[in-house]
Chain A
Amino acid sequence: MTATVETLEAMERPPVTMGPRIEGELLEVSMGPQHPSTHGVFRMNVALEGEIVRKLKPVFGYLHRNHEKIGENTSYLGSMPYTDRLDYFCSMTNNWAYALSVEKLAGIEVPERAQYLRIILAELTRLQNHASLLGFLLNDMGAWGTPLMYAFREREKILDLFESLSGSRMMCDYMRFGGCRCDTPSGWIEQAINIVDRFPRFIDELEQLVVANEVVIGRTQNVGALSRELAINAGITGPMLRACGVNYDIRKVDSYGFYPQFKFRIPLGEHGDTYDRLMLRVLEMRESLSILQQAFAQIQPGPIMNPKVKIRAFRPPVGEAYGRIEAPKGELGFYLISDGGPNPYRYRVRPPSFINLTVLEDLCLGHTVADVMVILGSVDIVMGEVDR
């Protein structure tokens, strides 16, 4: 996963010299929570030696809104729209993870068409999440709006699909335990096929724009390298883990839904640096396209909802369940304990971007402040999910 461009000697980072100063004096700077590059209200207390980061302490909780406690005081159905607000870029995968854990808890079967639709929606979500992430990452690098606007243009087409299906662009609230809320409107699948068929043009252009771009290479290669051991020990999942070369994808490992019936490959990185994380997402988008094409070929008309499931006054049996899926950002899991009542006794979210954020200090030490923004962008956080 290295670019076919010769690296510039001149582009190697020159040693930072700051002129005469007291050795060992650190300047503490609070970056955020209103910093434009922190992807929301995220704050980092960095101790700087010149421009080099020597210590970094992430501070979060500015967007905390008691998601788990609300989940314990709301009915099982009532938590579904709240899950949209976790990672507001990928509400469909959040819905799926929650629906999956409730289905595990109550032993609910999902009809075939709903399973295919869920895969289609999850992969469309992955496409738009990765596209907008790459746009934001380049924006953090100083490419200003251009790649971000191209990414948002493609994302907009996918959001239009979500809107015509579920009624809302971002807060879809589409899935239910035992299926999906409503069937696709007429012509929706054709529209989706059309958009998916045209998506590779965007990926090609994005690759031309960034893959061999000397500035991108200079800013990302060997920046924020994450070692395989640290990634595994810290519980990193998703593209960040795979960029280190660890072959772990829950779609393959846990084979939830109908994923075992699909043929797709898991792209792996090698160095675990920011460039690998960036490129891995480009490759994942291509794999998502192939999954989508298979799903469009296989989806059949049929019922969309398990008729046995009672949506209102839903009381699962006593027990506990952990449902997890491969969300675009990593392993998203919901852990539910039921005491037989209408509300869960315990409702716990395992958010991928929060846990991926725990290694931020290790990634950033020794790099400049400008690199911190790029590394943070490549971790792919959404504060709605980090703070819950």
Chain B
Amino acid sequence: MIGSGILKGMAVTARNFVGSYFDKERLITVQYPEERDPLPENYRNFPFLIYDSDDPHAGLRCVACKICEKECPPQCIYIVKSDDKKPDYMGKPQFYPKVFDIDISVCMSCQICVEVCPFEAIKMDKDFELSKRERFDALLLRKEELSKSNQYYHKIHPIEAAAVDNNLADAAAAAEAKKKAAAEAAAKAAVAKAASSAAATSATPVKSAPAAPSSSEASS
């Protein structure tokens, strides 16, 4: 019968209309500013810089190596390296960025800066309500606006942040162990040297013989 196809189509429309009142799957929209869908863990928007502890300057992980600036496909990152150095999370003196700007009107949220960063210093934010009234440089984020604490990172990406913290702790522990081993080796070497020099002054060459292998052991 002509028109039966249209009637069938109308039945589908009616089913969807009525279903939207009862079936959650047929009405998946939310009333946005009041209701919000939770963002998934992996959601990414624009990059930000992480600092440890409470001081955004002293705890900033970025060492101004400029890898992200070089790899950024739309080249929205601008970094000026500092003249002096400050200690990083492992206590090693490192450079820090004097200027770190990200033009988020150019950034395309590709996450490549996060992937290439060897210091876990830059991560993706989840804040998407960024419209500004100013026309010109309001979307050019400076270092002060970009720096956010590690606690904030834990809040927005809990699983990823825990993994990153573990990695950093492992790296710090490894560095600490290495440092300790080196210090011990140095101490042992010093002891051995002292012993051997003491032995040398007492002019008993038999005594200095066991000291030599121990020092080579420590250094290896």
Contacts and interface: CB of A to CB of B under 8 A. Distances in A.
B130 to A, nearest CB: 16
Nearest to A169: B43
B124 interface: yes
B111 A173 contact: yes
A84 to B, nearest CB: 8
Nearest to B25: A198
A13 interface: no
B110 A185 contact: no
Given A164-B40, A166-B42, A171-B110, A312 B5 contact: no
Given A74-B73, A79-B73, A173-B111, A212 B42 contact: no
Interface in A56-73: none
Contact of A208 (B9, B44, B109): B9
B73 A78 contact: yes
Interface string A163-194: 11111100101000000011001000000000
A365 interface: no
B214 interface: no
B73 A81 contact: yes
B26 to A, nearest CB: 7
Nearest to B124: A167
B183 interface: no
A209 interface: yes
B contact residues, range: 20 to 34
Which of A75, A166, A173, A216 has the most chain B CB atoms inside 10 A of its CB? Answer: A173
Contacts of A185: 40-42, 159
B108 to A, nearest CB: 6
B115 A181 contact: yes
Contact of B5 (A5, A164, A166): A5
A167 B3 CA distance: 46
B44 to A, nearest CB: 4
A28 interface: no
B110 A182 contact: no
Nearest to A81: B110
Contact of A157 (B28, B108, B159): B28
A208 B116 contact: no
B2 A6 contact: yes
Interface string B43-65: 11000000000000000000000
Contacts of A216: 5
B6 A312 contact: no
A333 to B, nearest CB: 22
B5 A214 contact: yes
Given A167-B43, A213-B5, A214-B2, A312 B71 contact: yes
A171 B109 contact: yes
A196 interface: no
16 contacts: A74-B73, A75-B71, A77-B71, A78-B112, A80-B110, A80-B112, A163-B43, A167-B40, A167-B43, A167-B44, A168-B44, A208-B9, A212-B5, A216-B5, A312-B67, A312-B71
Interface of B: 2-6, 8-9, 11-13, 15-16, 25-26, 28, 40-44, 67, 71-73, 108-112, 115-116, 124, 159
Given A185-B40, A209-B9, A214-B2, 14 more contacts: A5-B4, A8-B2, A163-B42, A164-B42, A164-B43, A165-B42, A167-B124, A168-B43, A181-B115, A185-B41, A208-B12, A209-B8, A213-B6, A214-B6
5 residue pairs, one from A and one from B, having the closest CB atoms: A81-B110, A212-B5, A167-B44, A164-B40, A78-B73
